[in-house]
Structure 1
Amino acid sequence: MELTPKRSEPANTLYEQIGGHDTFVALVTRFYEGVGTDPVLKPMYPADDWDGAIDRLTKFLEQYWGGPGTYSEERGHPRLRMRHNPFKVNPDARDRWLAHMRVAVDSLELSPLDREVLWDYLERAAHAMVNTFDQ
């Protein structure tokens, strides 16, 4: 008979801690539901590659947060600014992106700390993608 209680090992990464693949699929799916109705953001995504965009963002976020390295295996280094450069990402587009992502993050019902860690990164990343101040 064991006298000390067993403790489960803590998650090593945010990816594991918040639920892994299923959580990131839920996040990105909810995000793109909003983008699909947005008159500014939707045209930035080719209609014939909507599923590809969902897949790429899911894999990117999973890899960033400690999940599988599939994104880099398939696409190389993320080079986010370069990949977004062909698009007019102004403060309005950034704010719309953040609004849809906020809804998606809040839908996950994460712990307050996990939610803030995830949100902090997403907010910083969105600000870094701004490449014009033209309307």
Structure 2
Amino acid sequence: MTREERELTFYEAIGGEAAIRSIVEAFYPKVQAHPLLGPLFPEDIMPVMEKQYLFLTQFFGGPPLYSGQYGHPMMRARHLPFPITPERADAWLGCMAEALEETGMERELRLAVLERLKGPAYHFVNTHSNS
């Protein structure tokens, strides 16, 4: 079976390593500036950005970079120390939507990527207060 005969992974469809890097680089300034999200992140955002790059690469069907360095993602457990509200999940997805648009990703693909990220975003919700 040739490459053209099989379905592309999300990772391949969005443009692989370069695209994931662009998304992460467009995303985190928006997160840091967001009043609900910024306070949850450290001032030195570079390690967070690198982990996000590794995770999204794996999540979208690329090489298992995150697991190779950190083991099973266990993302809900890793986010439990932070108060994740439905409003913060919405804000996270909003920042991601802006980042995807900023990278020039085609609309249909952007919508598919956001749909794929909705599950994890809302799965991380662990509190319903705005504190």
Match of 2:123 among 112, 116, 128: 128
Q: Which residue of 2 aligns with 1:3?
A: none
Counterpart residue identity of residue 41, structure 2: Y
CA distance in 1, matches of 2:103, 2:70: 27
The reply to whether residue 54 of structure 1 matches residue 21 of structure 2 is no
Paired residues for 1:1-135 under 5 Å: 9-10=3-4, 12-48=8-44, 50-135=45-130
Q: Indicate the RMSD between aligned Cα atoms, in angstroms.
A: 1.7
Question: CA offset at residue 116 of structure 1?
Answer: 2.3
Unaligned runs of 5+ residues in structure 2 are none
Aligned length in residues: 127
TM-score by length of 1: 0.85
Q: What one-letter code is carried by the residue in structure 2 that aligns with 1:108?
A: T
TM-score, normalising length: structure 2: 0.87
Structure 1 residue ranges, 4+ long, deviating more than 3 angstroms after superposition: none
The structure whose Rg is larger is: 1
Give unpaired runs (5+ residues) of structure 1: 1-7
Q: Percent identity?
A: 34
